[in-house]
Chains A and B, each alone.
Chain A
Amino acid sequence: MKKFILLIMIIFTTQFSFAQVKIINGTVTDLGGIPLPSANIIIKGTTRGTDSDFDGKFSIEAKVGETLMISYIGYETQSILIGTETIIKIQLKESSTTNLKEVIVTSLGIKKTRRSLTYAAQEIKAEELTRVRDVNIVNTIAGKVAGVTVTKSAGGTGGSTKVIIRGNSSVSNNQPLYVIDGIPMLNSGSGQPNDTFGSLAGGNKDGGDVISLINPDDYDGMTVLKGAAASVLYGSQGANGVILLSSKKGKIGKVNVTASSVTTFETAAYLPEFQTDYIASPGADESWGAAQKTNNHVKDFFETAVTQTTSLGYSMASENSSTAFSFANVSASGIIPENNLKKNNFGIRQTSKIFKDKLTFAANANYTSQTIINKPVNGFYFNPLTGVYLMPRGNDFNYYKDNFEIFDPTRNLMAQNWMTNRDIMQNPYWAINRNKSEDENHFFNGAIALTYKATDWLSIASRYSYNRITSSFDKKIYATTQGTLSHPNGRYINEDSFSAQRYADLIATINTKINENFSFNANIGTSITNTLINQRTSLDSGISAGLQYANWFTLHNFNNNNGNYQTIDSKKEIQSVFAATTFGYKDRLFLDLAGRNDWSSTLVNSDNIGFFYPSVGLTGILTEMVEMPEFINFGKVRATFAQVGNDIYPFITSQTYYYNTGISDPRPNAGPKTGTTLKPELKSEYEFGTEWRMFNNRLNFEISYYSSETKNQYLQVLAPVGNREGVIYYGFNAGNIENKGIEAIIKGGIIRNEKFSWDTTINFSKNKNRVNGIPTELGGRLNLTEAGVNSYRYALIEGRPFGVIEGINFKKDDQGRILLNDDGTFQRTDFEEVGNSNPDFMLGFSNTFKLGSFTANVLLDGRFGGDVMSLTQAQNDAFGVSKASGDARNAGGVAINGVRASDGVPVTSVDAQSYYTQVGGRAGISGEYVYDATNVSVREVSIGYNINPKLFPFIEKASVSLIARNLFFIYKDAPFDPNIALSTGEGLQGVDIYGLPSTRSIGLNLNITF
């Protein structure tokens, strides 16, 4: 690596040694004298250029008679003819309201002026993505975009993240589409857990996703297109909103070498609370025995995790070509011992203009490899946390740590050493060391694009991209692992998945003025997307079948073939034609009309394989049309209506029989109910918005209202047992989900002067949704997560908001008293609604302070409303290890307002053990374990310092900052972090079942630009 940097430096110095003539030193500021860092300075007609430093200062070599062009986003570009002076001061004027040329990247990479947009789009600058770095880029957008809910998985570092834009609108998938440089990216993962108990196939594991693999340093910021109108050009894939990423491009005239190093330290925050007063009876699994002081061993189990990210970037550009390389390495350990991650990213991007700039050629390639050892799981199986939390108190945890295996002379092997033989709680150190798992992901993304500029007003572009993801999961389960999880000789699980997407398009862009007053833009194109998701070979020696020789982990050692499968999650092709047009009138009134027709292979054999959907939008710049007070710089109103179609699951309409894991005969996995046909789902959305800028752009705000309805949802639900079609799932169109909401963004430059500035942004969003039209045959409900044997179920219920959490409650009399039977047992209800997993509204409050060379950022993130259930707490209670169970024993019982059902005798206190063994536990009265999910956290804090580059001759810019993520909660009700979900799929929301505790991270970020 050092050699590489050295090489770059040589190139750098060589370049400059050729340069001649005089050196001009300059300063770029705004009209108020505030320095503008990273302003672009270029000598017109050459490739020479530079950037201003943090103080707005720059130096450049130039000849007399040359022209300096100085530009800065949001400001008008200035040109200065070089005379004899060697020191120049440049004051840039903020782009005035009449000349707001701010450009935003929209669908398909099409650039539009922000003012002409008819829908809501919100940008995040590159520095926001890397300032308080997270291994997963999307975790850094939490609280920064109105209307976007970001929920991390409990999979720890390298885990996936669930992103919901404007509420859940689909039963099957609510994640947005990620688009890199206008080309959709395949964001598939190898699956999400959906079992309340935990998967026997190696534990409830997060199969990851692709967006978590990319390198945040490769991108120049992000644009979030929230509504259907914004994404109509992506078709079905964009129905849940689109997140656009633009690659960093070389800046003209400048060699740019950047290096950054980030080290963060994470510690477990918000652990459950445990009692230290009682031990387990001899031999018992539950700690309901005698009073005896014990140590709380739980804290010592967790380690301080270290994440080290090193990234290097190199770019250079001339007017005709640009080149950029990047490399990043992440090396991280987890808070659970023996959990670690290694990730390497490589990127290259090249653009060239040929044939007198008529033809532009661009190509880029990115490759990422990631290996995670012992990716944390949740649920009861294969999870070391259950053993840590539930260990019968009175045992010496350290003894079992140091002696997790002991020699078994009868088998002549090292056997697990633990005080109990219980499927849900193995020796945690055995689980870590002898049930070890390895996840590996490789992601390749390659794209080429050709753009031909035929005339001033017409250009034609064609692009092709190929995404390829391979994932493997390997778990070696040693002999003497608990018998529910493994064969006596051990068990071997090995899965390999392959996913790929091929995308090609051809788009003609027309950009013309019809006459003085009318302008016309159009994009007409066609695209083809072919995806294959999770073509998987899955090997599992199984529990009853097993391995022939103990601990020999290879396919040939399997006793039989019953656990081995080849499967494919999805395979489809979508072909499309589309057109989007914008008519502009006097740069103040814009009308958007767009339409798209998709043909999807998934609809083959149904009435129509193709489906059309339109959008229309209108924007008016009020400040151009009406006389406004002086202090208003800009005002606009916009309205839009759009539809997005969505195809159905693949394979449904072309029926085949196949083996499904756990089902012993070949069956169709899913199919339509007899007498029904399938059609695409359709999302319709209205949106109204207004945007204002005032007081010299010191105060900006934007408000949007939207109302969407997604009809004819393709639902795939577990078919009733013994359905006559013999399918496991029914696929049908039914149900619609309504979302209505408001988003507001307020930005203020509260204080701005030469020495000190304070800028703030508030993102507010509120969403209400409702599920309708669930067929009565299904009892007006769809279970997204089945209850299994536990007291948690997650469902869509007719007339209720999306994502109802169901559980068991106490049965009560009309006075609200808990009913008890004569034998002291509680009467319980059936499953009923106990909460909802979605927040009512969200608030992000971001602040940036600048004082001299110091910059500080503080981001507060709040979610209000919604509920979560903690089965962790319930199980800890039932096992008598929780603080609550200890406190209740100390208090001589649990006070209740109860009554004996048979004779009406009041019951005011129940023995702690009797209470918690019935009410607690995974199958207990779970309604007692529902908490308000409202929380406000200090999400990000950073304090940065810009090092004076004069101290280091060959450094152009350098900064160092102290960063912190998830510092603490200002308010929280739940006994765990409600911003973490067990799954980033549709199931297992709003519940914690031994998920990894959330972490607080603090670290140091060093950035250098040469």
Chain B
Amino acid sequence: MKLYNIKKTTIIISLLIIVSCTDNFEEINTNPNGITPELFEQDFNHIKGGFAPMFNNIQVLTPEWVYQLQQGLNCDIWSGYMATPTPFAGGVNNTTYSLVDGWNGFIWDYAYRNVMFNAYDIANKTKDKYDQFYALSLILKVEGMHRVTDTFGPIIYSDFGSQASIIEYDSQEDVYNLMFEELDFAVAELTTRYNAGEESTFVSTDLSGYNGDYKAWVKFANTLRLRLAMRIVKVNPVLAKLEAEKAIAHEFGVMTVNEDLFKIVSPVYTNPIATISNSWLDIRMSADMESILRGYEDPRIASYFNISSQFLGEYKGVRTGIELIAKADHQDFSGIGEVVSSNEIVLMTTAEAYFLRAEGALRGWNMGGIAQDFYEQGIEMSFNQRGVSGAAAYKVDNVKTPIAYVDPNFSVNNSAPVNNVTIAWNDSDSNEIKLQKIITQKWIGGFPEGQEAWSDYRRTGYPKLFPVLVNYSGGTITTQFGPRRINFVQSERTNNPGGVASGVSKLGGPDNGGTRIWWDTTGPNF
């Protein structure tokens, strides 16, 4: 009897344990450090949450080493803005045209993980429902992703989010057409809402300087359209003119004052270049910047660069693509100046808008003015942006030209100046010289954002840069023209080989750094 009772108790206890407790499995299985989807929707945080990573990763703000690989050791250098004194990987690396997969993958990975994914996620949550958010996300998407297509050529765009085993790449032409359409939607949507006096829902989320102002965002979108239009001028001049004039003709127009410029205002991070330059000593003034800024006696130099700690009182740049033996040989040349010691990262200047209009006018487009005026306004705008005076005298200087470059330690790196134009506008100059002047000033004004400068350099060939002395590309990249793109990345070759194959076929050439992308034709500028 006793035994029977024990058995019975055992069974009952067993059953009780099982039956009674699985009710709390949901609670046990919920991570208490997480936020549940319901809570996340409060204040539209589930939508707004995706914007911060987009803002923070157009250029990666943190960690610094990722910025270094995403941008610092490619276009910042190939644009002629900066140079590294460090012989990374024994000096065989991007700077000597041996493209490093392990570095360049970060360009793609960070853009897709942060910009493209969040744009996709926000679109899913907002399209036809909260279109103001959708419109803003499109502008940020175009801002983030045009840089990626300009780097690689064909990219994943329309097929993003597909569950197919092969994610197809779009040709760059298709990507550009989609970007124009997306800007059409965003501009129309925000213009309507602004004109209706709608209160912005974007104020707290806006990490640009616009404070959620729809009108300012439209002006930025128009200027972005103007930039993209100019980019394709050699490959599709008809569409280029159409899109450029559309931007100018919009009721809000493009950026006209420095308050309009597009920047990321990070509540937390300073420009990563500051750390890379000041603490790591991994990035320095370039020889090209020294040649041009010192030649023009450009007062912006004090904002852009520090005086060399080795050559006191002097700005000294490092030439890219030289034989680097010891980092110490060049690490005490000029570092990057106060312009990067800030939590504001400018991604598009108002000066650029004027230089774009100057080039448009030069090409005979209706830009609402003449080329010379736009050119000189661009210079003034840039001086004003940097808080530097003297633009009036500077813009009419027709004497000063870039100077020769001297490497005080290694004379083999010396060179006569190559970008031999003056500053002042001269109506009798050929269009080619005028363009060289416009792009040279645009190049100076755009510092330190190397992505746009590298694209302009590839499109126009200006400003002329010192060629590398060491080329480890294995014959794929010419010393004369430099890298035209970056090959598709390791993560894609591994995870989406079919997609990469579709990209290579749309690229129309071998998948290396020497193949020109769609808008980069070998044809003349005019």
List A residues at the B interface (Cβ < 8 Å).
200, 280-286, 288, 420-423, 452, 454-455, 458, 460, 483-484, 488, 506, 508, 524-526, 528, 530, 543-545, 560, 562, 565-568, 571-573, 575, 577, 599-602, 604-605, 609, 650-651, 653-658, 662-666, 668, 674-675, 720-724, 726, 776-779, 781, 783, 787-791, 821-823, 825, 827, 830-831, 878, 902, 913, 917-918, 921, 923
Contacts and interface: CB of A to CB of B under 8 A. Distances in A.
Given A721-B491, A787-B102, A822-B474, A664 B53 contact: yes
Interface residues of B, number: 89
A787 B40 CA distance: 34
B33 A568 contact: yes
Given A508-B7, A526-B14, A283 B98 contact: no
B6 interface: yes
Contact of B26 (A200, A604, A788): A604
A488 B279 contact: yes
Given A575-B18, A722-B120, 5 more contacts: A657-B37, A664-B62, A724-B124, A724-B161, A918-B90
B13 to A, nearest CB: 6
B493 A830 contact: yes
A822 B269 contact: no
A657 B38 CA distance: 10
Interface string B465-490: 00000011111000000000000001
Contacts of B89: 917, 921, 923
B63 interface: yes
Instruction: Give the interface SS of chain B, mostly helix, strand, loop or mixed.
Output: helix
B328 A283 contact: yes
B297 interface: no
A829 to B, nearest CB: 12
19 contacts: A285-B327, A420-B328, A506-B13, A508-B7, A543-B275, A544-B270, A575-B18, A609-B22, A658-B31, A658-B34, A662-B63, A664-B56, A777-B165, A779-B495, A831-B490, A913-B90, A917-B92, A921-B90, A923-B100
A496 B476 CA distance: 52
Contact of B69 (A200, A604, A789, A791): A789
Nearest to A667: B49
Contacts of A420: 327-328
B518 interface: no
Contacts of A825: 92, 98, 472, 474
Given A577-B18, A658-B31, A666 B40 contact: yes
B386 interface: no
A566 B13 CA distance: 37
Interface string B100-112: 1011000011001
B393 interface: no
A902 B14 CA distance: 77
B29 A656 contact: no
Contacts, number: 241
Interface string B317-338: 0000000011111010000000
Among B165, B280, B475, B494, find the residue whose CB has the most chain A CB atoms closer than 10 A: B494
Contact of B280 (A423, A651, A668): A423
A729 to B, nearest CB: 13
Contact of A528 (B17, B108, B272): B17
A483 B65 CA distance: 11
B2 A454 contact: yes
B21 A573 contact: yes
Interface of B: 2-3, 6-7, 10, 13-14, 17-18, 21-22, 24-26, 28-37, 40, 46, 49-50, 52-53, 56-57, 62-65, 69, 87, 89-92, 98, 100, 102-103, 108-109, 112-114, 116-118, 120-121, 124, 156, 160-161, 163, 165, 268-270, 272, 275, 278-281, 325-329, 331, 471-475, 490-491, 493-497
Contacts of A662: 63
Nearest to B103: A789
A526 B90 contact: no
A280 B326 CA distance: 9
Given A506-B10, A575-B21, A722-B160, A778 B495 contact: yes
A921 B100 CA distance: 13
A823 B475 contact: yes
A7 B326 CA distance: 69
A572 B29 contact: yes
A488 B279 CA distance: 8
B109 A528 contact: no
Contacts of B100: 789, 923
Contacts of A674: 163
B63 to A, nearest CB: 7
Contacts of B112: 721-722
B280 A823 contact: no
B107 to A, nearest CB: 11
Contacts of B280: 421, 423, 483-484
* Interface pairs A-B: 4 shortest CB-CB: A656-B34, A917-B90, A283-B328, A483-B279
Contacts of A545: 268
A544 B275 contact: yes
A823 B10 contact: no
Nearest to A486: B279
Given A285-B326, A560-B268, A822-B475, A665 B52 contact: yes
Contacts of A657: 34-37, 40, 46, 49
A526 B102 contact: no
A790 to B, nearest CB: 7
A571 B21 contact: no
A668 B33 CA distance: 11
A666 B102 contact: no
B169 to A, nearest CB: 13
A650 B29 contact: yes
Contacts of A423: 280
Contacts of B32: 568, 571
A779 B497 contact: yes
Contacts of B163: 674-675, 724
Nearest to A914: B90
- Counting chain A CB atoms within 10 Å of each CB, which of B35, B92, B103 scores highest? B92
A283 B21 contact: no
Given A544-B270, A545-B268, A604-B29, A823 B473 contact: yes
B283 to A, nearest CB: 12
A283 B30 contact: no
B357 to A, nearest CB: 35
Contacts of A284: 325-328
Given A779-B495, A781-B494, A827-B474, A665 B268 contact: no
A544 B90 CA distance: 27
Contacts of B493: 830
Contacts of B56: 664
A253 B3 CA distance: 34
B138 to A, nearest CB: 16
A506 B3 contact: no
A721 B490 CA distance: 12
Contacts of B490: 787, 830-831
A665 B49 contact: yes
Given A665-B50, A720-B496, A918 B474 contact: no
Contacts of B268: 545, 560, 562
A64 B112 CA distance: 90
A483 B327 contact: no
A830 B489 CA distance: 11
B28 A566 contact: no
A282 B25 contact: no
B117 A722 contact: yes
Contacts of B53: 663-665
A960 B436 CA distance: 88
B495 A281 contact: no
Contact of B31 (A286, A488, A568, A827): A568
Nearest to A532: B28
Given A506-B14, A665-B118, A778-B495, A599 B22 contact: yes
A845 to B, nearest CB: 43
A656 B36 contact: yes
